[in-house]
Amino acid sequence: MKLLAIDTSADDCSAALLIDGELNGRLTREPRRHGALILTMMDELLAEAGVPLVGLDALAFGRGPGSFTGVRIAAAVVQGAAFGADLPVLGVSTLAGLAQGQRRLHGSEAVLAALDARMGELYWGAFRLDATGLMRLQGEEQVAAPGQVWLPDEGRWAGAGSGWGAEGVILMDRLGARLGRVEPDAFCDARDLAQLAAAELAAGGGLPAERALPRYLRDRVTAVAGGGR
C-alpha cells in the first residue's frame, strides 16, 4: 500500500508517506505558512521515494477538529491533488491521530485527547487500543466545557493535547486517580494519520475527492486572533 497523509490542523504542519509498511515523514512548526509549506513537503517525500503522485493508492488528511483555517488548507490541498491524480481520499480525525501518537511515543492504551477549542471549551475524544494496535474512539467526539465532557466510567487514562494545558485543572480534578501521564504539548502528526488511514483503506474505505471535507464539531465559526478554531 502507498498512501500520503498530511495535517495542517494546528501550529504544526506535517506530511507522511507510507509505503508497504515503511513510514517517512516531515514536520515543522510555522503556523502561518502551512499553505506554502505542505505542498513542498509532499513533493519532497514523493521524490525521495521515487513514487509519482499517480502511483499512490490514496491520500489522507487531518479532517479536524482544529484550526478552521488549517483544516480547510489540508482539505483543499488533498482535494486538488486527488482530483488531478484520480485517487480516493480519507479524512481522519485529528483527535484520533493525537491518540495514536501517544501509542507510538509512549505505548499508551487509553487516551483522553483534548484540543483547546477556545471560549472555555474543548474538542474531546476518548480512545482505547484495539487488537490491531490502533486507537479507537469510545463514544463520540464532542466540543464542550471541561466540566461537561464525557468521561469513561472506569480504567486508567493518559491525557494528551493542548486542551490539557488550557483546562487541565478541571479535567484532573474530575478524573482524580484514574489519570496517568499527561502530555499537554502533544499534537497530531501525519505519521499517525497515515497508519489510521491505511487501516481504513484496507477495510474498504476511501471517498471521491469532492468529499474531502473538514469536520469542525462546532457549528459556528468564530474569528479569533491568529485564525479561527
Q: Please give the model's pTM, rounded to 2 decimal places.
A: 0.93
Instruction: Kindly write down the DSSP assignment for every residue of 97-126, as one continuous string.
Output: HHHHHHHHHH--SEEEEEEE-STT-EEEEE
CA-to-CA separations, 176 to 119, 154, 156, in angstroms, rounded: 25, 12, 10
Is the same domain home to 126 and 62? Answer: no
Instruction: Give the CATH number of the domain where residue 25 resides.
Output: 3.30.420.40
Using alpha carbons, list the distances in angstroms from residue 118 to 104, 144, 192, 222.
28, 10, 25, 10
| Same-domain check for residues 87 and 195 | yes
Number of structural domains the chain divides into:
2
Same domain, 134 and 27: no
| Residue 220 located in a structural domain | no
Whether the Cβ atoms of residue 114 and residue 167 lie closer than 8 Å to each other? yes
pLDDT at 124: 98
Is 29 found in the same domain as 83? yes
- Residues 153, 107 within the same domain: yes
Q: Is the domain of 145 the same as that of 117? A: yes
Answer yes or no: do 170 and 138 share one domain.
yes
By C-alpha distance, which of 93, 65, 91 is closest to 77? Answer: 91
**Distance from CA of residue 77 to its chain's centroid?**
16
The number of helix segments (H) and strand segments (E) in the chain equals: 5, 10
Report yes or no on 224 lying in a domain.
no
In a domain, 134, yes or no: yes
Q: In this structure, is residue 221 part of a structural domain?
A: no
Q: Are residues 100 and 179 in the same domain?
A: yes
The answer to whether residue 24 is domain-embedded is yes
With helix as H, strand as E and coil as C, how does 206-221 read? Answer: CECHHHCCCCCCCCCC
Domain that holds residue 60: 2-94+188-211
Q: What is the pLDDT of residues 142-184, one digit of tens each?
A: 999 999 999 998 999 999 999 999 999 999 999 999 999 999 9
Question: Which residues contact residue 29 at a Cβ distance below 8 angstroms, ignoring those fewer than 6 apart?
Answer: 11, 12, 13
Q: Do both 158 and 117 map to the same domain? A: yes
pLDDT of residue 67: 92
Within a domain: 89: yes
Q: How many whole angstroms separate alpha carbon 166 and alpha carbon 115?
A: 9
Determine, yes or no, domain membership for 223.
no
Residue 71 and residue 25 share a domain: yes
Say whether pLDDT at 223 is over 90: no
pLDDT exceeds 80 at position 219: no
**At how many degrees (to 10) do helices 190-202 and 94-106 cross?**
110
Same domain, 101 and 142: yes
- Tell me, yes or no, whether 193 and 175 share the same domain: no
Q: What's the pLDDT tens digit per position in 68-124? A: 999 999 999 999 999 999 999 999 999 999 999 999 999 999 999 999 999 999 999
* 225 falls within a domain: no
